[in-house]
Structure 1
């Protein structure tokens, strides 16, 4: 009977079976990529399994790393990763800074004249408006206010529909600034429907008012506060047009 060659004899005839190099384009089990060294991972499919999750904002090359964007937040197009969402109370469609002074106060309704308000007083009104929610956030600071708050409306701190040099009804009534000493503050948010507590021609002067009216014509509105020492207004300031 003819002898069967041993395995050793067969391998001796084919030395390349032991010495053939590993094709590194196909087998990557021998490669250990430390975190953060993924520059060339697009050349090594599947080698990114040990990489840490990608933090928000590192999505520049996510087309190269399929699935790596699973932990990224979702933001509306063009708003940037730190922008607030349009349905958030911290998202404003417009903002306004108003400096109110005594010399802007007018008296009378038929032929109003600049009479001046409370000498030495000053007001700083900051408003953020979100017309989508009909919501206004406010930060009001009064300096040098004297006397008592006085107004036929439910508060003495208002936004009126009135152009420069004119008077008009209040549309928004804010809590009166509070505090001890020479400086007083009021801040918060109001959301429509609005009311002022002042009734003219059978309805509240805030009824039917929406904040979109300010955005459409800001110079047609002013902010003020009324004092028992200056009932027409202690200070007044126009919205910037």
Structure 2
């Protein structure tokens, strides 16, 4: 065997890097897919009528979608949605939602607790396997360099699959402080484009759809411009002006 040859079936470092790159591309497409976002919104809407909790649970779904997508790339969209549904159902069944009677004692009230006190399902218990993905390591590093040491401890605990209360105990933080850091991390993932920003609510209470150009929505900008042009024409006509 030649010194530089590799045994058959032994992946090279370049092939592993390529697989990580393809996994990252596939995950970005999944997170940017408008149909996926709408499906997640419908899932949380069926679980709670609280609009604030819905937004919080939606962020939780997006975070889990981002995380499980690295561990299990190449699955169908319905498979990922089912995992997200199981995840938020597990949160509610464990009594970790803000509207759960199990959490209504005065000494336990923490607003939007479902954002952080998550109990990982067996599916999400990665035991560090998630960090075998180079792209995931890069993503965690990109977040970590923008956080202080205590915030980084929360980030790494979440990535390792620990519940927020355990992370707080291990890090010597109060639970509300750890929860604040968890929300900061969630906001940072949106700011860096790791997960998409939730669609803002319109005046009628519905969520507006983003018209940002993506590979799934290549004609979005053109449609937005046409809609804007039609509105201007309608306003001019109503004022009796020329088009």
Same structural fold, with TM-score higher than 0.5 when normalized by the shorter chain: no
TM class, shorter-chain normalised? Answer: under 0.3
Q: 1 or 2, which has the higher helix percentage?
A: 2
TM-score between the two structures when normalised by the length of structure 2: 0.20
Task: Tell me the TM-score normalised to structure 1 length.
Answer: 0.20
